[in-house]
Amino acid sequence: MGLQLIPVFFIGEERDMTRRIFSPDIEHKKARWGWVFIFPSLVFFSLFNFYPIFNALYTSLFRKKLLSLKPPEFIGFANYIYLFKSPDFWNSIRATVVFTIGTFIPMVVFSLIFAVFIISRKRFKKFFQMAYYSPAVLSSVVVAAIWLLMFDPRGLSNQFVNFILNTPGVDHKWLANSTMVQISTMLVYFWKYVGYFTIIFLVGLASIPQSIHEAAKMDGVNAWTGFWYITLPLLKPTTILVSIMSMLQCLKTFSTQYLFTQGGAPMGPINVITLNLYNTAIRDHRIGLASAMSIILFCIMLFFTWLQFKGSRSDKVSY
């Protein structure tokens, strides 16, 4: 382990020396231009992200009906108190947590495995990248609609599983059983996004200098040990990034659950926060309560974003 760290530090020092070549003036000038370039996107972000967040925060303090023309009534934190006492909201928290844990852990593990598999190929690298990534470009609604057809009792899923397991005629109740419907939503999400995170891992793997692997090889390190003691530690920032991104993505899940419930699946087991929020706003017209829900979801996501920043700072690696 100690031997393997030597080239890592060496490369780090080499980079620091390169940085010293640039004078502070040029750096400042570059930074100024950087601000100029990001200014339009900052304005756009403020307008379309910050304003809705503050507006939702403000609305969450009112009893406001979507269709009502009457001025909304200020009720302070009553919407939040109502939510924390509501069994339906706690069920939504449960459904979201179950979905997030059940989806993001396999997603991180398998996207790393797929990325290592692709990068170790000598041929057909591009083909595998495209094959894994292609579901990510499909609209979530289209994906859910396709899987809805496959999960029909007479659909492909039952036929495929029954063929593999040699269990003809068994209905696996993909949408008609409270446990199975949760697994089905996880399966769809996993299928759609695993390719996307595979690509991120591929970029992370490609950025590890080949010289480190070569040096390790010369020291007699085999592929498995190299993966555990060199690749994985150096891939830590990417792993943290992928795990946090996939976790945030899972917390925001909506279209799969929405389309499945429209297709006849029971709502309770998959009534994630976003679906509950949507129904509260659109079906029940209670936009104040829905805003409070969105703020709670925002806080949960903010916490994990903070975790991401914290994690990425403490896990800096230099080659």
Partner 1 sequence: MQKSGESVLYSRFHQQYEPRGGDVMKKFWIILICALFLPVAVHAAESKIELTYWTHEDPNRTEIENRYITEFEASNPGVTVKRVTNPSKKMAELILTAFAANQGPDMFNLQIEDEYAYIVNNRLAPVDYKAAGYPSDKAIYSAYLPKVLDPVTFKGKLYGLPLELTNWCVYLNDRVFKDAGLDPDKSFPKTWEEMVEISEKITIRDGEIIKRRGFDFRYPYYLVAMVPMAEQLGGKLISDDGKKAIINDKAWIQFLEFMKEWGPNGKNLGSPTYTNARALFNKDNNDIGMCLSGLYQAGRIRKDNPEFYNSGEWRVVPYPKFKNAVEDVASAYYGHYFVVNAQKPKKNQQMTWKFIGYMLGHSEEYLSKVGLIQPTVKLMESETFKSMPYSGVFKADMERGHVVYYGENSAKIQDHIREAVESVMLAGATPEDALKNLRRKVQEVLDEK
Does the protein bind partner 1 through residue 297 (CB under 8 A)? no
- The secondary structure of the chain in percent helix, strand, coil, rounded to multiples of 5, reads 75, 0, 20
Q: Given the complex with partner 1, which of 103 and 157 has the nearer CB atom?
A: 157
Least distance CB 190 / partner 1 (angstroms): 21
Burial of residue 185 (CB within 10 Å: 0-12, 13-18, 19+) is buried
- Torsion sign over Cα 286, 290, 293, 295: negative
Does the protein bind partner 1 through residue 152 (CB under 8 A)? yes
> Going residue by residue from 242 to 271, which x/- string records binding to partner 1, judged by CB under 8 A?
--------------------xxxxxxxx--
- N residues, the chain: 319
Q: Residue 125: helix, strand or coil by DSSP?
A: helix
Q: Given the complex with partner 1, which of 213 and 285 has the nearer CB atom?
A: 285
Which of 12, 81, 153, 165 lies at the binding interface for partner 1 (CB under 8 A)?
Answer: 153
Q: Given the complex with partner 1, which of 254 and 304 has the nearer CB atom?
A: 254
Which listed range, 36-44, 116-124, 139-147, 275-283, lies at the site for partner 1 (CB under 8 A)?
A: 275-283
Q: Given the complex with partner 1, which of 102 and 195 has the nearer CB atom?
A: 102
Does the protein bind partner 1 through residue 14 (CB under 8 A)? no
173: left (phi over 0), alpha (psi -120 to 50) or beta: left
Distance, in Å, from the CA atom of 254 to the CA atom of 143, rounded to the nearest integer, reads 12
Does the protein bind partner 1 through residue 67 (CB under 8 A)? yes
Least distance CB 171 / partner 1 (angstroms): 4
Q: Residue 209: helix, strand or coil by DSSP?
A: coil
CB atoms within 10 A of CB 135: 18
Least distance CB 162 / partner 1 (angstroms): 8
Instruction: Give the helix/strand (H/E) hosting 221.
Output: none
Q: Where are the alpha helices (DSSP H) in the chain?
A: 2-20, 24-45, 51-59, 78-85, 87-119, 125-137, 140-150, 156-165, 178-206, 210-218, 223-226, 232-234, 236-251, 255-262, 273-278, 287-314
First to last CA, the chain: 15
Does the protein bind partner 1 through residue 85 (CB under 8 A)? no
> Going residue by residue from 112 to 151, which x/- string records binding to partner 1, judged by CB under 8 A?
---------------------------------------x
Q: Residue 73: helix, strand or coil by DSSP?
A: strand
Does the protein bind partner 1 through residue 185 (CB under 8 A)? no
Site for partner 1, residues 276 to 295, rule: CB under 8 A: 279, 282-285, 287
Does the protein bind partner 1 through residue 94 (CB under 8 A)? no
Using CB under 8 A as the binding criterion, the count of chain residues that bind partner 1 stands at: 35
> Which residues of the chain form contacts with partner 1 (CB under 8 A)?
65-69, 88, 151-154, 158, 168-171, 173-178, 262-269, 279, 282-285, 287
